[in-house]
């Protein structure tokens, strides 16, 4: 993540182009990791910075703070945000809490907890806003994943035949369970990808907008949206949907940023970010053309087995330019 220049530049610029939010202020860095955001906050003029990190990474953060002669300003605290106690409330909460497709890992819960416990009434959130996006895509990966699944099933049939003929044990009763397991792995688990903009074949739509000053945990337990898109390429394949996010550093209405900064993980012509995009592939792809309209239903919720992981249900109805409405479909995916 420290090598992710899009990430690093966005946070660096948001701090140093808005020093008025930091000079003489108290700052809380939630999930401080290496402590880089805490160090920048101090360099921008913060009076005191509390860098809270739940893991032993805090030891490296302390070493970096000492090496940069900021021990009088930055205090590294090892512990979970839900349990630590600070000696004062803070003017700014800064955190790089975003997971894949924004909400994987559920770290934002800790940021919300920190805000509710420790942010002053007129305090700032860095970042201040976030959005989730979805767009139709084309991808050669869809064919590879179908082939991988079929190869796995061919291997299964070979295995069961051999086991029965050589060892006298009929394993075929497990076919359904094995097939479901392989289908989930190859066809229903979302893929991490760095999409090229040319792979986006239709208009992108916002799935969720988040105001970091006011959002609650309940607001993000489920993300539900009905959205529309239009195909922008002639005679192509709808292979699925790509999902990404952006965050903004705007300050707050009463004290806006002098320079608003955006960090986006949208498909890029360069190397993009370490977050990339989440790709939800459809099997089989559907032939579409410019002007075809998509009505998409989107539901994302946390996995019952592991709240850090996500489950997504995507439904889509396609209205062709001719007026023909294709049969709608619904797919379930897992962000693991």
Query: Which residues does the annotation mark as catalytic?
Result: 96, 105
Using CB atoms within 10 A of its CB, is residue 315 exposed (0-12), middle (13-18) or buried (19+)?
middle
- Tokens in use for 143? 């064919």
Query: Which CA distances in Å does 64 have to 6, 95, 125, 126, 279?
Result: 22, 18, 24, 22, 37
Residue 73 near residue 46, CB atoms below 8 Å: yes
Residue 333 near residue 321, CB atoms below 8 Å: no
Tell the residue number behind the tokens 């069961």, with chain if given: 160
Residue 293 near residue 271, CB atoms below 8 Å: no
Helices (H), 184-302: 217-221
Query: Which CA distances in Å does 87 have to 48, 90, 111, 279?
Result: 11, 10, 18, 44
Cα–Cα distance between 330 and 311 in angstroms, integer? Answer: 13
Nearest in space to 136 (alpha carbons), one of 296, 322, 300, 336: 296
Q: Are strands 191-193 and 119-126 parallel, antiparallel or unpaired?
A: unpaired
Nearest in space to 228 (alpha carbons), one of 128, 327, 111, 136: 136
Residue 157 near residue 125, CB atoms below 8 Å: no
Cα–Cα distance between 54 and 153 in angstroms, integer? Answer: 43
């Amino acid at each position: 993540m420290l090598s992710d220049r899009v990430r690093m530049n966005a946070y660096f610029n948001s701090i140093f182009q808005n020093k008025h939010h930091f000079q003489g202020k108290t700052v809380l860095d939630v999930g401080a990791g290496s402590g880089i955001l805490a160090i920048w906050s101090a360099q921008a003029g913060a009076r005191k910075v509390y860098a809270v990190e739940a893991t032993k990474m805090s030891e490296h953060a302390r070493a970096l703070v000492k090496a940069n002669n900021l021990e009088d300003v930055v205090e590294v605290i090892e512990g979970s945000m839900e349990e630590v106690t600070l000696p004062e409330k803070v003017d700014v909460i800064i955190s790089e809490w975003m997971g894949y497709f924004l909400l994987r890992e559920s770290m934002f819960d800790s940021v919300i907890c920190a805000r509710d416990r420790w942010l002053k009434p007129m305090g700032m959130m860095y970042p201040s806003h976030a959005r989730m996006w979805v767009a139709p895509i084309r991808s050669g990966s869809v064919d590879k994943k179908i082939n991988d699944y079929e190869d796995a099933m061919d291997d299964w049939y070979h295995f069961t035949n051999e086991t029965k003929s050589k060892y006298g044990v009929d394993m075929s009763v497990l076919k359904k369970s094995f097939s479901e397991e392989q289908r989930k792995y190859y066809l229903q688990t979302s893929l991490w990808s760095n999409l090229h903009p040319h792979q986006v074949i239709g208009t992108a739509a916002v799935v969720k907008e988040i105001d970091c000053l006011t959002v609650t945990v309940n607001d993000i337990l489920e993300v539900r949206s009905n959205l529309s898109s239009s195909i922008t390429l002639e005679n192509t394949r709808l292979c699925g949907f790509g999902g990404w996010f952006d965050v903004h550093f705007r300050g707050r209405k009463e004290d806006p940023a002098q320079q608003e900064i955006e960090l986006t993980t949208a498909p890029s012509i360069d190397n993009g970010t370490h977050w990339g995009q989440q790709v939800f592939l459809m099997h089989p792809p559907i032939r579409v053309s410019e002007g075809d309209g998509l009505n998409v239903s989107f539901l994302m919720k946390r996995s019952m087995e592991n709240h850090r992981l996500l489950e997504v249900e995507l439904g889509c109805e396609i209205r062709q330019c001719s007026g023909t409405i294709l049969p709608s479909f619904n797919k379930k995916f897992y962000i693991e």
